[in-house]
Amino acid sequence: MELGNGFGEHNPISTFGMELPSVSPKLFWTFLLHATLFPCLIQRCRFSNVPANETDRLALLAFKDRITNDPLNAMSSWNDSLHFCNWRGIRCSLSDQRVTVLDLTSLKLEGSIPPHVGNLTFLNAIHLGDNSFRREIPQEIGHLVRLQFLNLSYNSFAGKIPSNLTYCSDLQVIDLNFNELVGDIPVQLSSLSKLRQLSLSVNNLFGSIPPWLGNLSSLTRLSIRRLNLQGTIPADLGRIPNLGFLQIAENNLTGTIPSAIYNLSALFILSVAANRLHGILPPDLGSRLPNLEGFYVSRNWFTGPIPVSLANASFFKELYLPNNDFTGGVPMNLGSLQYLNILFISGNRLGMGKEDDLNFINSLPNCSSLEQFGFDNNSFKGMLPNSIANLSTRLNQLVIGFNDLYGSIPEGIGNLVGLTQLNLDHNNFTGTIPVSIGKLHKLQILDLSGNRFSGQIPSSMGNFTELNKLHLQENSLLGNIPSSLGNCQKLIVLNLSQNNLNGTIPKQLLTILSLSISLNLARNSLIGSLPVEVGTLKNLQELDVSENKLSGKIPETLSSCQSLERLYMKGNAFQGTIPQSLSTLRGLGELDFSRNNLSGGIPKYLESFTSLHKLNLSFNDFEGQVPIQGVFESASEISIIGNNKLCGGIPKLDLPKCFVPRSKQRRSLSIEVIIPVIVAEATAVYKGSFFWDGLIVAVKVLNLQRQGASRSFLTECEALRNVRHRNLVKVLASCSSIDYKGNDFKALVFEYMPNGSLEEWLHPDVDGEHQPRTLNLVQRLNIAIDVANALDYLHHHCQTPISHCDLKPSNVLLDNDMVAHVSDFGIARFLSEAVDDRFTNKTNSIAVKGSIGYVPPEYGMGGDVSTLGDVYSYGILLLEMFTGKRPTQDMFKDGLNLHEFVKMALPDQVLEIADRGLLEEQKEEQEQDQEIEEEIAFSHIRSPEVKRGSVFGCLVSLFGIGVACSVESPRERMQMKDAVNKMQGIRDIFLGAGIYRKG
């Protein structure tokens, strides 16, 4: 046979030695095709009894093999005794019995999905939500071209979203909420033109909101909450015609809500809460979004008034506006929203400061579905209108604290029988607590604290059998504590402190076994003894009966309160000794028996209380030797003044020696100076060690020839005597004596910080033998938070606020674990408690000194000392830490300073001004993190070293705080407690540790 090869040539072919007749090429190829297919046809006939759906059964068995835990025995039916179409969670087509649905929702299964799932080619729905599946989502899911529904939510899937889902062109629903997925939102999803729902919330995704989402014209639901997303909201989302549910809350988004979003007339849920958005809501918002049912914009920076047009959205159910900067009055027409279920406008600047501020409440009784209503932390003034009593009986939360409301509580408050939470705290309410309040049998939280209520506590409060927390402190309540409160057997917190209550402590109060967090009866006029029944409170963590007129002995039964962490009994007339039985309370952290009539010795067992860090035994009649171990090792953690018969203790207590045999006397304090560490104008710091135990210390010796050195020594001693915090340098001893030449000698002994100062790390003085040390982004972030915590403690948590006055990198020391400790209190100032620490202290401001570049501008102009001066210094320190530039560099001149330099770069140029070493280090770490991600993709154990956030976003936020803290006007600076919260929030986002809270 000769066949043409396509080039005009022929080749002879012989078969079995036989010459075949010549045939045409077309005929030959036809023959060859049939000859090839014929064996296949024969084979198919031979095995026609094998089901075509066998691959489905094998794929399902492979799926079962990957299940590692089945606590509900849900997979027991998956065996050969049943056809696989009858297995639990399986649905098949009727015609050819191919698997079409795999539904194992909420069965507590643990395991992973095998790649064999890609062989279930007839699948149109996978529902595996609410289980504990982990590892990656297999790429083979992309083989399921018939797939319409994919629900893997509420599991622990890791790795990236499979990009080849794009081949599942019929997909209508993708729900991957609440997993541990990483990476960005893959652009391949943009081709899924039939997609109606895309839910990716609460994962570890990052990047920005992709504008191509606007091309998904079939989308009705988009949920991308808490994904560490950066940037702005793209206006392209306004092009999705039927979008009804848009949830982009709890990211790190900036800018405004694009106007196009307000044109999505189908929108019924819009949630952008907990971002950094700003702007004014459009006045016609309700008209443009007539179908709106839920609007969540809390925890942003929105300003302006609440739009009156909201009432035009007649289907409105939930309105969340808390923690913004809204101003003005509340629209009077909200009562027309008959479906309104939740109204929260807390934490703004709403209210006009007029007596009619609350008139808007008069229309709300028309909202018969109202269940939650809160307008606390605003500027509302006036009396609570009687119409409050006509609100829906379905109302379960009424939160209106921290305003300027006055007058009495309407008696009709008892009509709100559905209430589980009532907060009227921190207003100026007067009169008595209405007896009708006892009708609120469902109450779980009642807070009336911080008002001017008088009269007696109504005995009807004993009807609160569901109550968990009762706060009546800081009022002017009189009379006895009603014994009926003993009926409140679900209380975990009871606070009646700072009133004018008298009589004895009812024994019934001490039989509330549920009390676990706090029982606070302090600052009243209670008499009698502390009942022995107190021992029944076995789960109580805090007991405070301070500042009363209690007497008798400390009950031995207190030893049964094994959960006690804080015990305060100061300012009473307790007598006798501290019972030996209290030695079992080893969890105590704070103990205050001061200003009583206690006697005997200080129990030695207190030395063994490892958690005890605050002990006050002052002004009693204790005698004998003061222990020296445990809490007694630090003079700043104990107070024993006013006990004239005590002796011994550590040298700093300056007590007379106890008479003990010479052989038992402890060796005196002696320090071996090794080498000078720092020499400055007024001080020299030496590295030394104690002779007896070799403890390495830092010894700061003052040069008393320098003007002000003695005063600096006294100031630092006074400051350090009054403070104790993990981020403040700890003083071990002080010395005021005469040297060998007869000159005054003053020194302080501190913990030695082996990693030196922050100054040495930021600006290393490198020689030829040493390589520069660098701090990575996370280390700098941790150090900055440590410093912020130290200042927050000094400003807001000391008995008298303290301004450090000289914060700079050289005064931030780093211990062996790179934990930061603020040091050098030589020019610190104690601020008057009578002055609001947000503003100024009016004394001795002219004597304040500091360091150039870090001193707030108001000090240079004769301004007064304030904690906000420290805030300025902290802001400069923060900018220096992340730019690597000192505020005194030569480049800062002619009106340009470090503050303005960073401010001009925000937000787009932050990477250009960031410390180069920081970015290079971070680049290396990110490459390592990528490798770690790949290693853990098949493990549910996630390495804490893997970074979750954006370096760019982190720097934008950090520089933003630094600029906000270092503004020129003190009144415009934030307080340190706010800076601490923001800094910790940045770290949580960067490391992927966010916390979700609705609204």
Q: Helix (H, G, I), strand (E, B), or coil: what is residue 208?
A: strand
How far is the CA of 62 from the CAs of 457, 665, 750, 940, in angstroms?
68, 76, 65, 21
Report residue 226 as tokens: 């808490």
Backbone angles phi, psi at 633, to 5 degrees: -75, -20
Alpha-carbon distance of 551 to 504, in angstroms, equals 11
Nearest residue to 743 (alpha-carbon basis) of 708, 715, 704, 771: 704
Report residue 287 as tokens: 């008209």
Alpha-carbon distance of 791 to 823, in angstroms, equals 11
Instruction: Map tokens 């979008």 to a residue.
Output: 243
The conformational region for residue 950 under phi > 0 = left, psi -120 to 50 = alpha, else beta, is beta
**Which alpha helices (DSSP H) does 47-100 contain, by range?**
54-65
For residues 622 and 598, the answer to whether their CB atoms sit within 8 Å is yes
Q: What are 221's strand-pairing partners?
A: 197, 245
Alpha-carbon distance of 504 to 526, in angstroms, equals 6
Alpha-carbon distance of 540 to 751, in angstroms, equals 36
The reply to whether 978 belongs to the active site is no
Alpha-carbon distance of 564 to 489, in angstroms, equals 19
Three-state SS string over 426-486 comes to: CCEECCECCHHHHHCCCCCEEECCCCCCECECCHHHHHCCCCCEEECCCCCCEECCCHHHH
Alpha-carbon distance of 138 to 198, in angstroms, equals 19
Burial of 593 (C-beta count, 10 Å sphere; 0-12/13-18/19+): buried
> How far from the centroid of its chain's Cα atoms is residue 6's Cα?
76
For residues 351 and 329, the answer to whether their CB atoms sit within 8 Å is yes
> How far from the centroid of its chain's Cα atoms is residue 814's Cα?
25
Degrees, nearest 5: CA angle 749-751-755: 130
How far is the CA of 146 from the CAs of 98, 139, 485, in angstroms?
12, 15, 64
For residues 153 and 180, the answer to whether their CB atoms sit within 8 Å is no
Q: At what angle do helices 867-883 and 976-990 cross, to 10 degrees?
A: 30
Alpha-carbon distance of 630 to 5, in angstroms, equals 99
For residues 807 and 873, the answer to whether their CB atoms sit within 8 Å is yes
Q: Helix (H, G, I), strand (E, B), or coil: what is residue 930?
A: helix
Alpha-carbon distance of 322 to 274, in angstroms, equals 10
Alpha-carbon distance of 999 to 981, in angstroms, equals 18
Q: What are 301's strand-pairing partners?
A: 278
Marked catalytic residue, from 376, 447, 592, 806: 806
Q: Helix (H, G, I), strand (E, B), or coil: what is residue 205?
A: strand
For residues 193 and 168, the answer to whether their CB atoms sit within 8 Å is no
- Rounded to a whole number of angstroms, the CA Rg of the chain reads 37
Degrees, nearest 5: CA angle 522-524-527: 100
Round to the nearest angstrom and report the end-to-end CA distance of the chain.
84
Report residue 324 as tokens: 């913004």
Catalytic residues: 806
